[in-house]
Amino acid sequence: MNKKFLRKKPLFFALLLCLLIINGCWDSRELQNLGIILGAGVDVLAPGESAQGGRIRLTVEIANIAEGTSQQGNPNVNGFIFTSEGATLPEAVYNLRNMVNKELFWGQTQVLLFGEDALKEGINQYLEYFAKERELHPTVRLAAVSGKAGDYFRVGGGLSDIFSFGFSGILQSNVQSGVATVRAVTIEDYLEALYAPWGAPLLPYAFLDGPQDGGRAGGGEEGGEDEEGGEDEEGGEDEEGGGLRQVCFDGMMVLNREGAAAALLGKESSLGTMIWRGWADNFPLALEDSGGKRTVVEVFDCRVKRSWRAGAQGLELWLEVRLKAKSREGGTESEVLAGVLEQETERLLRSCWEKSLTSGEDFLLAGRDLRRHDYRGWQNLEGGWPAAMRGVKLAIEVKARVFSSAN
């Protein structure tokens, strides 16, 4: 036998042993054995509302894999809708697992919706559970909804063949008329605002409109502007009546530190908040000049600088806003439109600041900005930030440029 082979014989058997024990497939999972959850909704049930006696209702949309898909759920084109109940959310998830008879997979989840009753109670406990799910991505989008969250998954095919993708797509879009006053909020965004000093999280607010509801279920803006209803909408076939039901977005919901609904921001306060937080690129705005002429401009660049100064009468918060917009209509001088845009932007910013003071929730995260700017001064605030916030003087400087559509 070749002497070279004999010398390499131990290495040969070692490599052979590695091939036998390291094959790369020991923890593989077959696709048809997974219940791939695309979206989920959490509802809190009133006593007597559940025939099973559960308190938490979990509704999920599971991807329809052609081979081996359970037929217990309600078919929704490319997804199946399952509903389970339990005394707690973990129990509802456990019952769902038994119902689907598959391993639940959260890695493709697009949206988490929270119903009206869950919002009244506080959703932090539910988000804490979802955040511990190792496969759930931190960029999953969250939304507050009027009524029952489970009803939204049964809207039908109007949003998309798969509801969760359609709903998530609307939240991600900021280019359609009116959508700039809502913003997609992820689990990561929510936790960042929640753990900011005296911060208050925001969630986009949706409601179902159509024949069954007869309109918005959530009412107008709480204690604020009297503003119109939904901004942007997509519809689906109503399962029972055959009519058109629509998912409409109507501003942002402010939540307190416990995750309970504190205030609903209408269009003006929501748009002011989007500008304040630097979230408002690509949004349309209707302006009216001194002659009563209305012109729609599209703001395509929004930059905000926030700074703090110690004034003679206390703390001063300075906002420097720079806007670039283009006019959708001709006939009005760009300089005139720029002046009107500056005035309207300042009005929107002051409106959302007043809303923050009225609600008592710092959803603008002004306290976070102050702490970053002057940590020592933050520690020496008398009465804490909520009391000091009411004494802050707000100064706003807006510079806008409007480009004619003809250019």
SS3 34: strand
SS3 91: helix
Please state which of the ranges 17-31, 126-140, 265-279, 319-333 shows the lowest mean pLDDT: 17-31
User: What's the burial of 42, exposed, middle or buried (CB within 10 Å: 0-12/13-18/19+)?
Assistant: buried
Higher pLDDT, 178 or 339: 339
Write out pLDDT tens, residues 304-354: 999 998 877 788 999 999 999 888 665 556 888 899 999 999 999 999 999
**pLDDT band, residue 216 (cuts 50/70/90):** very low
Higher pLDDT, 205 or 101: 205
pLDDT, averaged across the chain:
79
Beta bridge partners of 103: 34
- In three-state form (DSSP H/G/I as H, E/B as E, the rest C), the secondary structure along 327-391 is ECCCCCCHHHHHHHHHHHHHHHHHHHHHHHHHHCCECCCHHHHHHHHCHHHHHCCCCHHHHHHCC
Q: Is the pLDDT of residue 235 over 70?
A: no
Q: Record the pTM.
A: 0.79
Q: Is the pLDDT of residue 174 over 80?
A: no
CA distances from 225 to 128, 239, 265, 328 (A): 33, 35, 9, 27
SS3 6: helix
What number is the average pLDDT over the span 25-49?
Answer: 81
Helix axes 124-131, 89-100, angle to 10 degrees: 50
Domain 268-373+387-403, what fold?
A: GMP Synthetase; Chain A, domain 3 (3.30.300)
Residue 5: the pLDDT is 55
Higher pLDDT, 362 or 314: 362
Domain boundaries, the chain: 33-265, 268-373+387-403
Write out pLDDT tens, residues 134-150: 889 988 999 999 999 99
**pLDDT band, residue 159 (cuts 50/70/90):** low
What number is the average pLDDT over the span 203-222?
Answer: 58
Residue 51: the pLDDT is 73
**pLDDT band, residue 286 (cuts 50/70/90):** confident
Please state which of the ranges 60-74, 258-272, 377-391 shows the lowest mean pLDDT: 60-74
Q: Is the pLDDT of residue 403 over 70?
A: yes
What number is the average pLDDT over the span 30-40?
Answer: 84
Residue 282: the pLDDT is 73
Q: Is the pLDDT of residue 236 over 70?
A: no
Return the half-sphere exposure (C-beta side, CA atoms, 13 A cut-off) of residue 9.
7
Residue 226: the pLDDT is 37
What number is the average pLDDT over the span 236-250?
Answer: 56
Residue 181: the pLDDT is 72
CB 252 within 8 A of CB 180: no
172-175 long-range contacts, CB within 8 A, separation 24+: 172/141, 174/281, 174/282, 174/283, 175/282
